[in-house]
């Protein structure tokens, strides 16, 4: 899932720039240090790709398993959740999170890519007014249908739409239904009366194309529009106020990242917690189900309805994502290794610290 539903990020060859330059680490340290575990909320700058950011964090943290929770295009900035170590196992539980953006919508011209990086074509006609935009926004709140941009990662007959667009073909992309939970205009600039600019706050469902929203808003006003800038201000529970800039991480490297890591299960408050004892932990490590401490029904009143839960050590942190049903809890994603002959188990990072509600 992406900031805009998968817009291709390598349409042009890009340099990651000084902020995401290569970091030379101590190979011996990288090989000997255990992986960090947890969630890092990065404030991505304009320029680098999301992959660039992941690569930088991987080198700084000397951690092999690193991934992100939703692509931001190079021209976009803002919240990019980075998952390290065991946290990479639960990224899928965040992919449906709501997103929030601050979008700069430029009127009076269309773009081949629906953003400032495409070829712009001025559209004749009377200039768009602030009051007209405010009224038009009403039609884009709630559940709407939109067609993803031609330059997007949506597959059409087995090929990416952007590949077809680059080849000069117009991809026939099926419309999709998305939900706009909040849509407000917070600023208006008509310094250039022919091409006014609106700043719009958007809160939407996963998979929403903000570029398509800008494009369709222009069409609804009898004009055209494209996305001039985009900042993601929230991705699920991860907010811009808690995000750390890459330049603040570089000097301290692994230690700086460890200091900003959140527990692995941060943002999974919707999943109930099931605490298990030592015997239960050993069973979960082996992929075996355990008796539900809450008994049949698991405290829900319906023992036949499976429900995902967070399985945690007594007084400890997350060890697995489980499925509760019929008086049992079966592991779905196990975050701890099976016991070795010596009984040793890997530990490190923030797996052993449970996220507080609302973190």
Residue 8 lies in a domain: no
Q: Tell me: do 320 and 211 sit in the same domain.
A: no
Q: Return the exposure string of 99-120: e unless at least 16 CB atoms fall within 10 Å of the residue's CB, then b.
A: bbbbbbbbbbbbbebbbbbbeb
Q: Would residue 67 be called left, alpha or beta, if left means φ above 0 and alpha means ψ between -120 and 50 degrees?
A: beta
CB 104 within 8 A of CB 229: yes
Q: Tell me: do 248 and 201 sit in the same domain.
A: no
Residue 13 lies in a domain: no
CB 151 within 8 A of CB 12: no
By residue range, what is the domain housing residue 47?
A: 18-97+237-260
Q: CATH number of the domain that 211 lies in?
A: 3.30.2350.10
User: Which residues are within 8 A (CB) of 84 and not within 5 positions of it... i.e. 6 or more apart?
Assistant: 35, 36, 37, 38, 39, 40, 57, 61, 63, 65, 66, 257, 261, 349
Give the Cα separation of 215 and 53 in Å (integer).
28
Indicate the number of domains in the chain. 3
pLDDT of residue 231: 98
Q: Tell me: do 188 and 207 sit in the same domain.
A: yes
Residue 6 lies in a domain: no
Residue 299, phi then psi, degrees to nearest 5: 80, 0
Terminal alpha carbon distance of the chain? 23
pLDDT of residue 316: 84
- The 10 Å Cβ neighbour count of residue 147 is 16
Q: In Å, how far from its chain's centre is CA 297?
A: 33
Q: Tell me: do 230 and 325 sit in the same domain.
A: no
Q: CATH number of the domain that 281 lies in?
A: 2.30.130.10
- Residue with structure tokens 């399985």? 311
Q: Tell me: do 37 and 150 sit in the same domain.
A: no
* pTM confidence score: 0.83
Out of 73, 97, 115, 292, pick the active-site residue. 73
Q: Tell me: do 145 and 125 sit in the same domain.
A: yes
Residue 104 lies in a domain: yes
CB 67 within 8 A of CB 332: no
CB 325 within 8 A of CB 307: yes
Q: Tell me: do 107 and 208 sit in the same domain.
A: yes
Q: Tell me: do 153 and 202 sit in the same domain.
A: yes
Annotated active-site residue 73? The verdict is yes
Give the Cα separation of 183 and 168 in Å (integer).
34
Q: Kind and range of the H or E element at 146?
A: strand 142-146
Q: What angle do CA 117, 240, 186 make, to 5 degrees?
A: 65
CB 123 within 8 A of CB 223: yes
Q: Tell me: do 324 and 349 sit in the same domain.
A: yes
Q: Tell me: do 176 and 253 sit in the same domain.
A: no
Residue 2 lies in a domain: no
User: How do the pLDDT tens digits run along the chain, 359 residues long?
Assistant: 444 544 444 443 344 444 444 444 444 444 567 889 999 999 999 999 999 999 999 999 999 999 999 889 899 999 999 999 999 999 999 988 999 999 999 999 999 999 999 999 999 989 999 999 999 999 999 999 999 888 777 888 787 877 877 877 888 888 999 999 999 999 999 999 999 999 999 999 999 999 999 999 999 999 999 999 999 999 999 999 999 999 999 999 999 999 999 999 999 999 999 999 999 999 999 999 999 988 776 655 555 568 999 999 988 889 999 999 989 999 999 998 766 544 444 444 444 455 544 44
Q: Tell me: do 138 and 213 sit in the same domain.
A: yes
């Amino acid at each position: 899932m992406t900031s805009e539903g998968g817009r291709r990020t390598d349409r042009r060859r890009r340099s990651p720039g000084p902020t995401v330059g290569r970091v030379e680490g101590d190979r011996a340290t990288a090989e000997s240090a255990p992986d960090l575990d947890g969630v890092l909320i990065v404030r991505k700058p304009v320029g680098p790709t999301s992959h660039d950011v992941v690569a930088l964090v991987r080198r700084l943290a000397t951690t092999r398993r690193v991934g992100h929770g939703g692509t931001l295009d190079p021209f976009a900035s803002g919240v990019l959740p980075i998952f390290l170590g065991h946290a990479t196992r639960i990224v899928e539980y965040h992919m449906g999170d709501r997103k929030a953006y601050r979008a700069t919508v430029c009127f009076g011209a269309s773009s081949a890519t629906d953003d400032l990086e495409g070829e712009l074509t001025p559209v004749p006609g009377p200039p768009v007014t602030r009051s007209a935009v405010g009224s038009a926004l009403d039609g884009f709140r709630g559940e709407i249908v939109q067609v993803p941009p031609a330059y997007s990662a949506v597959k059409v007959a087995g090929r990416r739409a952007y590949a077809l667009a680059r080849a000069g073909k117009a991809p026939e992309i099926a419309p999709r239904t998305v939900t706009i939970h909040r849509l407000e205009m917070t600023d208006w600039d008509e310094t250039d009366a022919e091409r006014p600019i609106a700043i719009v706050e958007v809160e939407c469902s996963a998979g929403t194309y903000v570029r398509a929203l800008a494009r369709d808003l222009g069409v609804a006003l009898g004009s055209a529009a494209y996305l001039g800038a985009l900042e993601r201000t929230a991705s699920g529970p991860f907010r811009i106020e808690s995000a750390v800039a890459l330049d603040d991480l570089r000097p301290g490297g692994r230690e700086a990242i460890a200091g900003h890591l959140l527990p692995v299960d941060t943002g999974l408050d919707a999943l109930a917690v099931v605490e298990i004892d030592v015997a239960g932990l050993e069973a979960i490590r082996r992929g075996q189900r355990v008796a539900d401490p809450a008994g049949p029904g698991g405290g829900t009143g319906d023992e036949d309805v499976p429900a995902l839960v967070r399985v945690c050590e007594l007084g400890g942190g997350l060890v697995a994502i489980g499925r509760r049903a019929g008086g049992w809890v079966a592991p779905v994603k196990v975050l701890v290794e099976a016991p070795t002959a010596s009984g040793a188990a890997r530990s490190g990072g923030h797996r052993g610290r449970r996220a507080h509600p609302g973190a």
